[in-house]
Amino acid sequence: MNKYELAVVVNAKLDDEAKNAVVDKVKALIERFGGQIAEVDDWGKKKLAYEIDKMSEGFYYFIRFEAESTAPAEIEKRIRILDGVIRYLCVRNDQAA
């Protein structure tokens, strides 16, 4: 099992209920592919470095999880088409290895 960190930027125009639903879908995807979520870090609303689809702000979430090496590719494949997700990035976290 490898350790990963998934950064997700959620559309700032969503209400709290829709925003939480998007984050829950992302967590469900991680668990669906055998991942074990260690921590979900909510950074709140932040200004984006550049406009994306005429949006200048987004809600940032960092999810740390453990999974097999094939899981991140499958997770990213499905996050790509989720409504409400502006950007995402999954990286392997070797620090705590």
CATH of the domain at 85: 3.30.70.60
pTM of the model: 0.87
What is the rounded average pLDDT for all residues in the chain?
92
What digits encode the pLDDT tens for the residues 61-81?
Answer: 999 999 999 999 999 999 999
Q: Decide if 14 is inside a domain.
A: yes
The span from the first CA to the last CA of the chain, in angstroms, equals 10
Q: DSSP E strands: which ranges in 22-92?
A: 36-52, 55-67, 85-92
Domain assignment of residue 84, yes or no: yes
Residue 47 belongs to a domain: yes
Share of the chain above pLDDT 90, in %: 88
Determine what percent of the chain falls in helix, strand and coil, rounding each to the nearest 5: 25, 50, 25
pLDDT digits (tens, 9 = 90+) for 47-62: 999 999 899 999 999 9
Find the mean pLDDT for residues 26-42.
93
Where in the sequence is the domain holding 7, given as residue range(s)? 2-92
The answer to whether position 97 is within a domain reads: no
Residue 36 counted as domain residue: yes
Alpha carbons within 13 A on the beta-carbon side of 44: 0
Number of independent structural domains in the chain: 1
